Amino acid sequence: MSDYEIEVIEPAEARPLRRALLHPESTLEAVDHPGDTHPAARHVGAFKDGLLIGIATIHPQPMPGATRTGAWRVRDVAVEHGHRGRGVGALLLERLLEHAAEHEGVVAWATVRIAAFGFFERYGFTRSGAPIDDPHEGPQYLMHAGVRPLHRSWRL
């Protein structure tokens, strides 16, 4: 059994998995976010045997309700069902936070589906208030964490 490898990918490479795992009702073009093309954005993919099985994105964006600069938004952390529970999502998230730290990030934040908030809590994210009712995504928590460099291997 080979290792999982984390690599920087282009936004277009994330689209099919982003759609399949997070937005199956949308077209490929509709799953793009405005921050995807920000010059400082980072898209990472997890590969197993050469196949993309996980994705995650981070880009600079002010956190709602906060005036602090250095905010980075985490988006679309997703791993294929058969590869969950093996640390792949954690490694993707770590690569995002490492990137934000290298770019003077102070806080990382995300809107997190209720089913996934426990994952983010395990990695130091804190819920900010009651769930937000998003008409397209359903109930979500606004979560945030301080950014710090982690410097682990890009292989699992």
Decide if 142 is inside a domain.
yes
- Bridge partners, 53 (sequence order): none
Q: Is residue 101 part of a domain?
A: yes
Q: Is the pTM of this model over 0.75?
A: yes
The residue range of the domain holding 27 is 4-146
Give the CATH number of the domain where residue 82 resides.
3.40.630.30
pLDDT tens sequence for the chain (156 residues)? 359 999 999 999 999 999 999 988 888 888 888 899 999 999 999 999 999 999 999 999 999 887 678 999 999 999 999 999 999 999 999 999 999 999 999 999 999 998 888 999 999 999 988 888 888 778 999 999 999 765 555 554
CA count, 13 A, side-chain hemisphere, 131? 13
Q: How many domains does the chain have?
A: 1
Domain-located, residue 49 = yes
Q: Is residue 151 part of a domain?
A: no
